Amino acid sequence: MAFKLDVTGDTGNKVKSALADILTGMGFTVSDTDVNAVPVKVQVSFEDVELNQPQKFTRYTLALNVFNQAGDDIITLTDSGREGHITQSEAQARALRTVINKLKTELPKRLNKYFDAMVTGKQ
């Protein structure tokens, strides 16, 4: 089974690369050219937040949708929050790590749950 990744807001393609690693690690392929590939749309954003504190913060949002061939949304994963540190660059790095870790922990669970439901007929 192949997946086609469409990731927006990912400077440096780190989220897309991590997502491809997760899917290939599960035994799937990632392809931009396979017409039967399952579309995965991901939107991420990272925004520096000014708070009246000495620490620096970065707010992150993650929205992932997996669609079936009919275009129906079959898996949804969302998360948002903020990460902080004494430097803005480290706050940004922590926010990116949090998004990637969320994908690593939640996406395999949700994909497996979806496929299990298909097999058992309990959708």
pTM of the model: 0.90
Q: What is the mean pLDDT of residues 92-96?
A: 97
Q: What is the pLDDT of residues 38-52, one digit of tens each?
A: 999 999 999 999 988
Query: Considering the domain 2-120 in this protein, what is its CATH number?
Result: 3.30.160.150
The stretches of the chain forming alpha helices (DSSP H) are 14-25, 88-120
The helices-and-strands tally (H runs, E runs) of the chain is 2, 5
Write down the pLDDT at residue 118: 81
Tokens of 111: 């994909």
Q: Token match 């480290």: residue?
A: 90
Cβ pair 7, 15 in contact under 8 A = yes
